[in-house]
Amino acid sequence: MTSPTNQELITRWRHEPAPLLPLLHAFHDRDGYLSDEALGAVALGLKVPIAELFGDVTFYHHFNRDPTRTNALRICTGPICRRYGAMELLAAFEQDGATPMPCAGRCDDPIPVLQHGQALAGTSPDTLEARRSPLPPPNPAEHEECVFSAIREPGRSKLEGYRRTGGYEALTRAVTDMQPAEVVHLVAENGLAGRGGAGFPTGVKWKAVAEAAARPKTIVCNADEGEPGCFKDRAILDHDPHAVIEGMALAAYATGATRGFIYLRYEYPDTFHVLEHAIHEAEEAGLLGGSILGTDFAFQLYLRRGAGAYICGEETSLLNSLEGKHPFPRNRPPYPVTHGYENLPTVVNNVETLAAAAQIIRRGGKWYGSLGLNGQAGTKIISLSGDIRHPGNYEVPMGLPLKTLLYNWAGGPLPGRQIRAVTMAGLSGGFLAGDGLDVTLDEPSIRAKGSFLGAGGVMVFDDSRDMVAVAHDAMEFFAHESCGKCFPCRIGTQRLTERLAGEAGPTDLTAWLDEVNDLGQTMKAVSACGLGLAAPLITGSLMRYFPDRVAQHVQTMANARAREVQP
């Protein structure tokens, strides 16, 4: 088969919604890199100033501009993959041009490696192979699941299997028997809150978009999942893609939206094909497109790939990315519910939120709200990884003690080891350790310890781990991914990384603590988005739970400096 010409690619994408990223991907897939000629053609075809286009392309980590590196590997060097030998794997392929990739969302089955759009996994050069992502392990407790309640059913990822196990019943009931406001009410009264990190009440968000006057309205599924230690969205999309499509269609019906996008992180190429197929199946069956299920409800769904930038998971950055603008987060207000995609009313929801909404509407009543413990509503998927016997995605009732998950569900630490610390919200919630581990898995309990549950990534570090080194790697990630829009975040994450590396900063402990605190406070006070607010939780929790190790770190630095100045 001959490769498409530049003009054929431009013609294919020019009039599609949100065309910039798919067009860049089309050139990149064809050539293995983005040449000057390709960028010139894209700039001309989409009428984008060439300087702006260069700025965008070089912002995303995935786009290669070097023709000699078209087959070079990208190797995940996230916190968990490092434990499985990621740095050694990188070194083995370094002479072939391999580069590190921030956590690629496969912490339960490492090490993910990308090569020219293909996903491989393995812990050594000999074991690299294409592998399906694992199903969630069996739920070891009696607690009822919501999102995972049918995910392990054979054939669930295909339309036939999905329908056989109750799929699209909720959509059918909604469009034939329910008013849009009833759908919003059902989601609101069950207490569903956003599962992408911020925990905003989903019913409130849907109501605001339903009441907004401007049109057309849009539903965006945030499948960017860039938070290190989070891999739940991947599991849902790989094994239950129709649940998310159904959730999006329900959100569209409830709010009056007519178009939708799934924004999928680039690092999930297999998931892209699963979704492509599922969307096609749903269109063919009259569950997407015009006249859905024979009614006058219409909803067109598009699939778009990101290009490797953690900040694109932040909802306004994601919207800019979709629109082909530089993916800086937007200043808020106004919020996406009134000024979202193309400045029009938009729901942005996480994959897990949308999959839960489909179940809630199918079950009706106050079923979901009653699944939590101690007055907490619903369930949460926790992506558990690291130094633990049984890593994986666990759907827990909100309010479950963290230690029950760690020790009873997931088997506790590895033989002969003790759990030293865990991260919360992937990396964004910093560390919990010592008495900090005595929390229940819900926002009020975890926030009382100065952290937050967020998207539900929990990485476990045992007593063989050096927490200053772990904190350094975490801060290096934030420094790498800071979009640079706000000075305190851009510089603050770098200064904190240097201090954790022992490369710079005071050698007196009190001065070191003051400076690190001061940097963190400044970032928290003035950062425009959650990245700059979250990064100081790493240093804050390190100083709180590991004061002796911090003192030792500063002393080691002081000793090294003293040796440097000796004649």
Ligand X SMILES: Cc1cc2nc3c(=O)[nH]c(=O)nc-3n(C[C@H](O)[C@H](O)[C@H](O)COP(=O)(O)O)c2cc1C
Residues that bind ligand SF4 (CB under 6 A): 311, 329, 482-486, 489-490, 527-529, 531-532
The rounded distance, in Å, linking the Cα atoms of 188 and 54 is 43
Binding residue (CB under 6 A) for ligand X from 77, 349, 376, 482:
349
How are strands ordered across the β-sheet holding 431-433?
392-397, 379-386, 457-462, 419-423, 431-433
Query: Smaller CB distance to ligand X: residue 90 or 319?
Result: 319
Cβ 533 to ligand SF4 shortest distance, Å:
7
Which residue's CB atom is positioned nearest to ligand SF4?
Answer: 532
Cβ 550 to ligand SF4 shortest distance, Å:
24
Q: Is 289 exposed, middle or buried (0-12, 13-18, 19+ CB in 10 A)?
A: middle
Binding residue (CB under 6 A) for ligand X from 54, 60, 84, 200:
200
Query: Smaller CB distance to ligand SF4: residue 365 or 484?
Result: 484
Binding residue (CB under 6 A) for ligand X from 350, 393, 445, 494:
350
Instruction: Tell whether residue 240 is a contact of ligand X (CB under 6 A).
Output: no
Q: Which residue is listed with tokens 């991907």?
A: 25
Decide which of ligand X, ligand SF4, none touches 484; Cβ closer than 5 to 8 Å per partner kind: ligand SF4
Whether 429 and 77 have beta carbons less than 8 Å apart is answered as no
Question: How far apart, in Å, are the Cα atoms of 452 and each of 352, 426, 437, 512?
Answer: 17, 10, 13, 26
**Helices marked H in 341-397 — which ranges?**
351-363
Cβ 34 to ligand X shortest distance, Å:
24
Q: Which residue is listed with tokens 């016997």?
A: 389
Instruction: Tell whether residue 426 is a contact of ligand X (CB under 6 A).
Output: no
Binding residue (CB under 6 A) for ligand X from 309, 311, 554, 557:
311
Q: In 306-456, which ranges are E strands?
A: 346-350, 379-386, 392-397, 419-423, 431-433
Query: Smaller CB distance to ligand SF4: residue 159 or 528?
Result: 528
Instruction: Tell whether residue 538 is a contact of ligand X (CB under 6 A).
Output: no
- Candidates 217, 456, 243, 239; CA nearest to 348 is 217
Question: How far apart, in Å, are the Cα atoms of 92 and each of 82, 122, 263?
Answer: 14, 13, 33
Instruction: Tell whether residue 315 is a contact of ligand X (CB under 6 A).
Output: yes
Decide which of ligand SF4, ligand X, none touches 191; Cβ closer than 5 to 8 Å per partner kind: none
Binding residue (CB under 6 A) for ligand X from 196, 229, 324, 392:
196
Q: Is 154 exposed, middle or buried (0-12, 13-18, 19+ CB in 10 A)?
A: exposed
Which residue stretch of 105-113, 193-201, 486-494, 507-515 sits at the interface with ligand X (rule: CB under 6 A)?
A: 193-201
Binding residue (CB under 6 A) for ligand X from 399, 530, 536, 540:
530
527 contacts: CB under 8 Å, gap ≥ 6:
486, 488, 489, 533
Cβ 492 to ligand SF4 shortest distance, Å:
9
Query: Smaller CB distance to ligand X: residue 197 or 392?
Result: 197
Cβ 66 to ligand SF4 shortest distance, Å:
26
Cβ 530 to ligand SF4 shortest distance, Å:
7
Question: How far apart, in Å, are the Cα atoms of 533 and each of 451, 452, 528, 536?
Answer: 11, 12, 8, 7
Decide which of ligand X, ligand SF4, none touches 490; Cβ closer than 5 to 8 Å per partner kind: ligand SF4
Question: How far apart, in Å, are the Cα atoms of 251 and each of 9, 53, 217, 313, 483?
Answer: 32, 33, 11, 20, 30
Whether 310 and 479 have beta carbons less than 8 Å apart is answered as no
Which residue stretch of 55-63, 218-226, 247-255, 439-447 sits at the interface with ligand X (rule: CB under 6 A)?
A: 218-226
Query: Smaller CB distance to ligand X: residue 10 or 184?
Result: 184
Which residue stretch of 192-200, 433-441, 463-471, 514-522 sits at the interface with ligand X (rule: CB under 6 A)?
A: 192-200
Q: Which helix (H) or strand (E) holds 76?
A: strand 73-76
